[in-house]
Amino acid sequence: MTVREIFRLLIKDKLGAIGIGILLFFIILAILAPFISPYDPTIENFRADGSFARMDPPSLQHLLGTTRMGRDVLSQVIAGTRVALYVGLTSAVMVTLIGTVIGLVSAYFGGWVDDLLMRFTDIVYGVPFLPFTMILVAILGPSIWNIIFAIILISWRTTARVIRAEVLTLKERTFIQAAKLTGASHRRIIFHHLAPNILPLSLVYSSLAMGWAILTEASISFLGYGDPFLMSWGKILFDAYVAQAINDAWWWVVPPGLAITLLVMSGFFVSRSLEEVLNPRLRRL
């Protein structure tokens, strides 16, 4: 099944179409962010009478209101889109790549290689996700790259397990046995015969990984471990919490929270639809 055929089937599914639509909206928003942001997200703003625009509710001048520092919430949410997508897409690509390669190698070679890689995967499964990320970021420093690094170190485990299970069945099929009889190298069999057949399954888990990465970055930033030089959705919520405005300024809390929810949902919608598209038994009649 080609990528074009998969995309066409995704569009036909309601949840898949919704997920792709939401994702495209945020991608366009991130690309156009410098051009459509009404204000600099880091500067203080003032009212028409010259007074400090502190904690202003939504108005024509500030569509989503302002923060305690007089910063425009809409501009901050738009700027945060870039960080969310950067973390989500980068983490998804790396997590899928690492998990897929480990699953392929483990299942194909079997024996001690499989035992070694799967016992290592079991150890990683035993590491609590959010506390590990917090500790690593605290040690390495509050950088967006360190957050991505922490996400990648943990999130590949599920992909590796699923890919391994699929390859265990594929490697016994006739076309793999034929490739071995013709003298094909292990590398060729793994990457030219097995990999294309498990690629659709990898795509399913890459969309899931994107959602979890975005949620993790937002959680880390909300806890105060985010990059202080970047405007992320989690940092907006952290600033609102520190200012004790969670209950008093809904316009400061709802927009970033809603943006996180929608973008994470889009990843889960796409993964669910991909699973139905790639597994005929799950398709609706």
Amino acid at 110: G
Q: Distance from CA of residue 60 to its chain's centroid?
A: 33
Contacts of 284 (CB under 8 A, 6+ apart): 276
pLDDT at 13: 73
Per the CB < 8 A criterion, the answer to whether 10 and 200 are in contact is no
pLDDT digits (tens, 9 = 90+) for 150-209: 889 988 998 999 999 888 888 888 888 888 888 788 888 888 888 888 887 888 888 888
Q: Which domains does the chain have, with CATH numbers?
A: 3-282 (1.10.3720.10)
Which pLDDT band, with edges at 50, 70 and 90, does 257 fall under? very high
The burial of 235, by beta-carbon neighbours within 10 Å (0-12 exposed, 13-18 middle, 19 or more buried), is given as: buried
Contacts of 221 (CB under 8 A, 6+ apart): 227, 232, 233, 234, 235, 237, 238
Which pLDDT band, with edges at 50, 70 and 90, does 285 fall under? very low
pLDDT digits (tens, 9 = 90+) for 5-31: 666 666 677 777 888 899 999 999 999
pLDDT digits (tens, 9 = 90+) for 28-54: 999 999 999 999 998 988 888 778 888
Q: Report CA-CA distances (Å) from 271 to 35, 71, 169.
A: 31, 36, 22
Residue 34 token pair: 């410098």
